[in-house]
Amino acid sequence: MLRLPANDITPEHIFNQRRKIIQALGLGIAGSMLPKISLAEMAENSPLAFQTASENGLVLTPENKVTGYNNFYEFGVDKGSPAQYAKNFKTDPWQLTIEGEVENPFSLDYRQLTTTFPLEERIYRFRCVEAWSMVIPWVGFELARLIERAKPTSKAKYVVFHTLFDPEQMPGQKNYFFGGGIDYPYVEALRLDEALHPLTLLTVGLYGKPLPPQNGAPIRLAVPWKYGFKSIKSIVKISLTDTRPHTTWEKLAPQEYGFYANVNPNVDHPRWSQASERIIGSGGLLSVKRQPTLMFNGYEKEVAHLYKGLDLRVHF
């Protein structure tokens, strides 16, 4: 448990109120017992003190950093660009379609998604491949719920995610350099068992509010044991397939960004170390704290079994 300076400690009554809707690291058991509430209720119950809450040693990243320091190349490659250029991003109407190797393909709009699947809050570590990290209180539901409803066929082995393609709204899709040279739409994928893991969330909110556009509104993935680039934003389509697709970063630089992208302090990026990370929003004006990076980003107990027998140096 990290020690917090006095003014970082949430007043107890607020903390206890929050506990009722919160699920932290460690998950699983506790998670399924928590009350499931709607996003509206969540926002209503959500106390002001989010900023400073801590649970299981996780100190939340200040909200303004979570929503102001972003990677969303569709809206430019600078960390401040998404907040600026995604401001008027239109996320209503929105349809999410699940298709491919499923018996029951379907599409749901945002309202249907957030009422069909009970929402809960989860505090996750978030580790970018660029060696910085945050702790984010997501609002979402387990991806497994959506996949189960679609009934995967016996051929389904991978789950592929597609971000919206709309160059009129996304300047990075219109201008090669502004968008960082990515071949859009942004595509990511997980093995089916990774996608069905209870830690894998589809999120629709953070800090008790709907997702801001720069964080991937209206619906984005959160896979806490993998580098941030797997957590694809503004998803319109999920396809189950029998073969492994080529994903965005893997296509761009296969020797740098592997398909698995599991957080691993022992396997460095070819151009920098992955052994430690900058904690975004920590310290004062002049200092940013660093901490050692944990195997599977601290979720080793929960996910290591998925990779038994796999050489993580080869399958990075």
Count CB atoms within 10 A of the CB of residue 79. 17
- Report in angstroms how near the CB of residue 77 gets to Mo ion at its nearest: 11
3-state SS, residue 243: coil
70 is in an annotated binding site: yes
Which is closer to ligand MTE, CB of 152 or CB of 172? 172
195 to 234: interface string for Mo ion, x by CB under 5 A:
---------------------------------xx-----
| Cα 125 to chain centroid, rounded | 9
Which is closer to Mo ion, CB of 10 or CB of 67? 67
215 is in an annotated binding site: yes
Which is closer to ligand MTE, CB of 113 or CB of 129? 129
- Report in angstroms how near the CB of residue 67 gets to ligand MTE at its nearest: 8
Structure tokens that stand for 131 in this block: 């060696």
Which residues fall within 8 angstroms of residue 68, CB to CB, at 6 or more apart?
Answer: 79, 80, 83, 214
Which residues fall within 8 angstroms of residue 174, CB to CB, at 6 or more apart?
Answer: 167, 168
Q: Which of 285, 277, 256 is nearest to 126 (CA)?
A: 277
74 is in an annotated binding site: yes
| Separation of alpha carbons 314 and 171, rounded Å | 36
244 is in an annotated binding site: no
231 is in an annotated binding site: yes
Contact 171, 178 (CB under 8 A): yes
Dihedral over Cα of 50, 55, 61, 67: its sign: negative
9 is in an annotated binding site: no
Contact 121, 137 (CB under 8 A): yes
Which residue, judged by CB position, is nearest to ligand MTE in the bound state?
A: 228
Which is closer to Mo ion, CB of 128 or CB of 201? 128
> Interacting stretch for Mo ion, rule CB under 5 A, among 50-58, 127-135, 269-277, 281-289?
127-135
Q: Applying CB under 5 A, does 186 fall inside the site for Mo ion?
A: no
Structure tokens that stand for 20 in this block: 């009722």
Considering CB distances under 5 to 8 angstroms, the limit depending on partner class, which of ligand MTE, Mo ion, none binds residue 73? ligand MTE
Contact 217, 210 (CB under 8 A): yes
Contact 242, 255 (CB under 8 A): no
233 is in an annotated binding site: yes
Contact 258, 274 (CB under 8 A): no
**Binding stretches for ligand MTE (CB under 6 A):** 70-74, 128, 163, 186, 215-216, 228-229, 231-234
> Interacting stretch for Mo ion, rule CB under 5 A, among 99-107, 129-137, 188-196, 307-315?
129-137
Of 128, 182, 211, 279, the residue at the interface with Mo ion (CB under 5 A) is 128
Annotated binding site: 70, 73-74, 128, 163, 215, 220, 231-233
Q: Where do contacts with Mo ion occur on this chain (CB under 5 A)?
A: 71, 128-129, 228-229
Annotated binding site for Mo-molybdopterin: 70, 73-74, 128, 163, 215, 220, 231-233
